[in-house]
Amino acid sequence: MSSSTTAHDPNCIFCKIVAKQIPSRMVYEDEDIYAFHDINPWAPVHFLLIPKAHIVSMAHIGDEHASLLGRMMALVPVLAAKEGCNPYPKGGFRLIANTGAEGGQEVHHLHFHVMGGPRPWLRG
Ligand code: 5GP
Ligand code: ZN
């Protein structure tokens, strides 16, 4: 594992959420992936999908992550529907990965925002 991918960073808020040291409202969990409701939702449905391993951002993704990311992407429509996003095409959702300072990333543990539900939204 490179320094940008560690099993657990003790200073990382999302690693603490994965370790259940900080409570969260879980949406999904398996061996490698965790999903939970955003604490400050922009939309009626707003959850975060993260790898359990501490991968810093999309800028740190390489070929070795292809299968993990593929599994995460395949979960997006399933979890979006489960959490109440309406069906495509009238419903749908937004999928966002803020990356780096100019990309608006505040938490430096890779996460995909999934937002949906009836508009208007608070933001987004
Ligand atoms: P970013 O700006 O890095 O893409 O998004 C970070 C997201 O994490 C924000 O939407 C913020 O509300 C959410 N967040 C930050 N701290 C916590 C927390 O302790 N619990 C939960 N559930 N969400 C958090
Ligand atoms: Zn982390």
Catalytic-residue membership of 111: yes
Amino acid 1: pLDDT: 47
- Taking only the tens of pLDDT, the chain with its 124 residues reads 445 788 999 999 999 999 999 999 999 999 999 999 999 999 999 999 999 999 999 999 999 999 999 999 999 999 999 999 999 999 999 999 999 999 999 999 999 999 999 999 999 9
For the entire predicted model, the pTM comes to 0.96
- Position 5 scores a pLDDT of 81
Q: Which domains does the chain possess? A: 5-116 (3.30.428.10)
Exposed, middle or buried: residue 69 (CB in 10 Å: 0-12, 13-18, 19+)?
middle
Ligand 1 atom 20, closest CA:
39
22 ligand 1 Cβ < 6 A: yes
pLDDT at 3: 52
Q: Which of 46, 54, 109, 111 is catalytic?
A: 111
Phi/psi of residue 20, each to 5°? 65, 25
Supply the pLDDT for residue 91.
98
Distance CA 54, CA 5 (A): 5
